[in-house]
Chains A and B, each alone.
Chain A
Amino acid sequence: MSFREHLLELPVDALVARARDASEAEVARALAAERRDLFDVAALLSPAAEPFLEEMARLAHRITVQRFGRTIQLYAPLYVSNECVESCTYCSFAIRNRIRRRTLTVAESVAEARILTGRGFRHLLLVSGEHPRIVPPEYIAEVLSALHTDVPSLSVEVQPQTEEVYGEWVRSGAEGLTIYQETYDREVYAEVHPRGKKRDFDWRLETPERGAAGGMKRIGIGALLGLSDWRLEGIHLAAHARYLMRRCWRAFISVSFPRLRPASFSIDPPRPVADRHLAQLVCAFRLFLPDLGLVLSTREKAAFRDGMIRLGITQMSAGSRTEPGGYSAPEETGKQFEIEDRRRPDEVSTAIRRSGYDPVWKDWEAALND
């Protein structure tokens, strides 16, 4: 059963309703339960749970330390292209925007990667806009092949592909796939993707499954917070993560919580998410799925990221550039979004240590990919 079909069987309306108007008793049950279901997640996301945020944080902290230890995995994005044929209203790369476009050659990608490995990174995430002609699957495969001897862990975040393409990428050296649904709210999804292939909600929804079937060992999903009701996104993301953990059981699953920021080339977030609510979301996920990876990127401010380390986050990016070629030559081409945490990777690493955590740069060995 695909996640699309699984979702049809879930009482989504009742879950979203619970997330909006749970009682204090329902929150208390969710806090005390040994095993939690989606109704418990809904209660933990509700306004009634807000006074219990500190208690949620303590539980989330303890579970995370038990399952992951005091560690934070570090990774860096490597943008290979900002070419894009899509029309996403929230993204600077969208076709309508007059930004400086660039696609790195394979040699340029290697040069960018060397800068990042020089800073300590051993896990890179290749990112690209969605342009099937300029950035075809064969190009990504070529970049992966060129990088994988230098970089033990390579993940890919580009437009949805078939299982066969994912298999090819895995053979070329990819180990992880990141794909955000952007929003699980079908109406909003249609609004913010007015044209293009990306309008196909279901094709995107089933992408993580295809990636796992193609052999991807790490699967990252997420929703762009701020487009729709964060509680609705939380319910769907929780259901999706649980589904993937059961179904694609050979893969490590993680969830990201990117917040949409006001930016020059995109819409302002129609439903902004407050810091406290993002913290509530992260804690609820940890209480629901103790072994789920939780990611917080440089979109967030330094002080907020430092605080979130103890609330359940397990992976972070650092020193990110969101324009292709940005590590060799910053600011020369169009960025996807502004980053908020502008500290260098070594500064982030120091901050992680100061919180009593161990920054983990390398957690994969290329020999495992063969």
Chain B
Amino acid sequence: MQAPETRTARDPLVIAGRAISSRLLVGTGKFTSPEVMAEALDASGAEIVTVALRRVDLDSREPNLLEFIDRERYLLLPNTSGAESAEEAVRLARLARAAGLSDWIKLEVTPDPKWLLPDPVETLRAAEMLVKEGFTVLPYIGADPVLARRLEEAGAATVMPLGSPIGSSRGLKTRDAVAIIVEQAGVPVVVDAGLGAPSHAAEAMELGADAVLINTAIAVARDPVQMARGFRLAVEAGRAGYLAGAAGPRERAEASSPLTGFLGEGG
């Protein structure tokens, strides 16, 4: 657990012992072309980039999505999107490892195709299995503080609560629950899904989230590159606001008889 008192000016994000240079994580789906995606990644300043395993075709002759992602520069984070059970997610993770992509896995188990909401039971089961197999597991979850603790106990490297349903761009609707997760977590908290504008990302960071993951909001913007830059700045701004320790609004004193009268003077 990182105590707030130990944060320094350099303030790196550390996931599973690795220092990560940017608190903005970016997804690679929904872009109009791989070239635009590559440019947006560059503008975002992100170090961690997620890729849906189901979209990667390692055997195809067509240009592969992965060819547009500089593996020297970015840490590839394969995700298990499409998995509907723990077993399916584990199978995908093993595939990613066998293909030499990564031991880091963004765990997504979403049996509900409409909202793509994560299944808490299967996600916990999958995390337990994957940790046992030596994967570094970053699970996507509903903003459930108890589930976050159970996953931390199971050895997850982060927890990734959603801000609102994936792709919905509705912002941090789970604010109060995320605040509890942040307060309790001993691993980094990455707000994932639903953040639709830079101001949403800034809000999550000000709340004390360690990072955010953005995909749709950048990919479907009129100018994805400009939007990537906007999110980069918003994440930095929100983090600075959090570290600076904003004072809340001052409470007004209520007039009533003093509570400390029984102590007497100097007693």
Contact = CB atoms under 8 A, between A and B. Distances in A.
B172 to A, nearest CB: 16
A37 B5 contact: yes
Contact of B263 (A15, A59, A279): A279
B194 to A, nearest CB: 23
Nearest to A28: B247
Contacts of A28: 247
A307 B262 contact: yes
Interface of B is mostly: loop
A11 interface: yes
Contacts of B262: 303-304, 306-307
Q: Which of B3, B247, B248, B263 has the most CB of A within 10 A?
A: B263
Interface string B221-265: 000000000000000000000000111111101100011111110
A216 interface: no
Interface of A is mostly: helix
Interface string B62-75: 00000000000000
A290 to B, nearest CB: 11
B6 interface: yes
A55 B245 contact: no
A125 interface: no
A246 B253 CA distance: 32
A58 B258 CA distance: 8
A186 interface: no
Given A39-B5, A55-B253, A29 B245 contact: yes
Q: Which of B208, B254, B267 has the most CB of A within 10 A?
A: B267
B183 interface: yes
B17 interface: no
A33 B245 contact: yes
Contacts of A31: 250
Interface in A29-64: 29, 31-35, 37-39, 53-55, 57-59, 61
Interface residues of A, number: 38
Interface in B183-220: 183-186, 208
B267 A58 contact: no
Of the four ranges (under 10, 10 to 19, 20 to 34, 35 or more), the interface on chain B belongs to: 20 to 34
B192 to A, nearest CB: 22
Contacts of A239: 3
A225 to B, nearest CB: 15
B149 interface: yes
A279 B5 CA distance: 25
B100 interface: no
Nearest to B248: A34
A10 B260 contact: no
Contacts of B247: 28-29, 32-33
Contacts of B261: 307
A272 to B, nearest CB: 12
Contacts of B246: 34
A276 interface: yes
Contacts of B258: 54, 57
B266 A274 contact: yes
A9 B266 contact: no
Pairs of residues from A and B, 9 with the lowest C-beta to C-beta distance, nearest first = A307-B262, A34-B248, A57-B259, A32-B247, A275-B267, A37-B4, A38-B5, A57-B260, A32-B250
Interface of A: 1, 6, 9-11, 15, 28-29, 31-35, 37-39, 53-55, 57-59, 61, 239, 243, 246-247, 249, 274-276, 279, 303-304, 306-307, 310-311
15 contacts: A1-B1, A9-B6, A10-B3, A29-B247, A32-B250, A35-B183, A38-B5, A39-B5, A53-B263, A58-B253, A275-B264, A279-B260, A279-B263, A307-B260, A311-B260
